[in-house]
Amino acid sequence: MKEENNTPKNKWSRIFRKKWFFPAVYLTIAALLLSVVVWYQNLDNQIQETEDDQSSETYTPAEHDEEAQSVMDQQEVIKMPVVNQDQAEIVTNFYDYNADQEAKENALVMFNNRFYQSTGIDIASADGETFDVLASLSGTVTEVREDPLLGNVVALSHKNDVVTYYASLQGVNVKSGDKVQQGDVLGNAGENMFGQESGTHVHFEIRKDGKEVNPESFFNQPVSALDEASTEDESSESEGTEDVGTESEVTEEESSESEGTEESTDESGTGAEDVSGGQNSQNANVEDGN
């Protein structure tokens, strides 16, 4: 019995006496420790990557967003205020003093037996039906009113002192103070008393620094083109101005001619210039002479 009980102890004693036993134990413990260290490092890296992914998803850099929005504003181009430009027809042009005689005649509006210079363009559809009028540029609605001569009127303000103006609207979908994006529907084209000859249309104007410009010259161009054109106009005006002295005497004939020349502005606020008053006066003088 004693021999049987001592057998396991003798086996372990023999194992302990082996030269390789303790080195093997040390190597095993070292391998375990090394495995724990490697596992801990991998776990830390995974946690760090997870935190980085979460922070990148929730982080919204406001400064970069504002810069991107500013770039988009600069890239916005001026569009014709209609859905389908191919079906649109410009029936009345902008009156340009530098245009030829035929173009000037096509830019006159007949109202109450007088001719007025068009300060914008009249756009109609090829089939003569009504159509949606769109915002040519993104901006803020600054004016919505109903005019007895011009129909419903909507004005939008934009950056850099640019204003777009829409008249002869049959219905209006916006109100003053609304923020609109380019292409939003402002209303529908209709008829008005001032532009009866244009039928169903929208009267569209672009104003830069309070001065009307020819919309046809700036369609599909960036808004910055208006700044460049304004700078060129100011430069040409300054170059064309010459000091030729002051005349001390004016003949009676020149004085009478200057007093007889009158210009009238449309009372409804269109800014159109009356160009028929002088012709009517001349016709009256001819009849009296006869």
* Closest to 78 in 3D by CA, of 186, 217, 259: 217
DSSP letter string, 197-255: GG-SBEEEEEEETTEEE-GGGTTTSBTHHHHHHHHHHHHHHHHH-------S---HHHH
The model's pTM is 0.60
Name the DSSP letter for residue 77.
Answer: B
3-state secondary structure of 174: coil
pLDDT, residue 32, reads 84
161 burial type by CB count under 10 A (0-12 exposed, 13-18 middle, 19+ buried):
middle
| Predicted pLDDT of residue 283 | 40
Give the pLDDT confidence score for residue 172 in this predicted structure.
Answer: 96
- Position 61 scores a pLDDT of 53
Return the pLDDT at 55. Answer: 57
pLDDT at 54: 64
pLDDT at 194: 93
Structure tokens at 149: 């001569």
Evaluate whether 205 touches 269 at the Cβ level (below 8 Å).
Answer: no
Low-confidence ranges of the chain (pLDDT < 50): 1-3, 68-69, 71-73, 240-269, 271, 276-290
192 CB neighbour count, 10 Å cutoff: 24
Can you list the pairs that 260-268 forms with residues at least 24 positions away whose Cβ atoms lie under 8 Å? 266/111, 266/116, 266/149, 266/194, 268/147, 268/148, 268/149, 268/150, 268/194
Report the pLDDT value the prediction gives residue 162, as an integer from 0 to 100: 95
Q: How many helices (H) and strands (E) does the chain have?
A: 7, 12
pLDDT at position 282: 38
pLDDT at 9: 64
Q: Which pLDDT does position 151 carry in this prediction? A: 95
Looking at residue 22, what is its pLDDT? 73
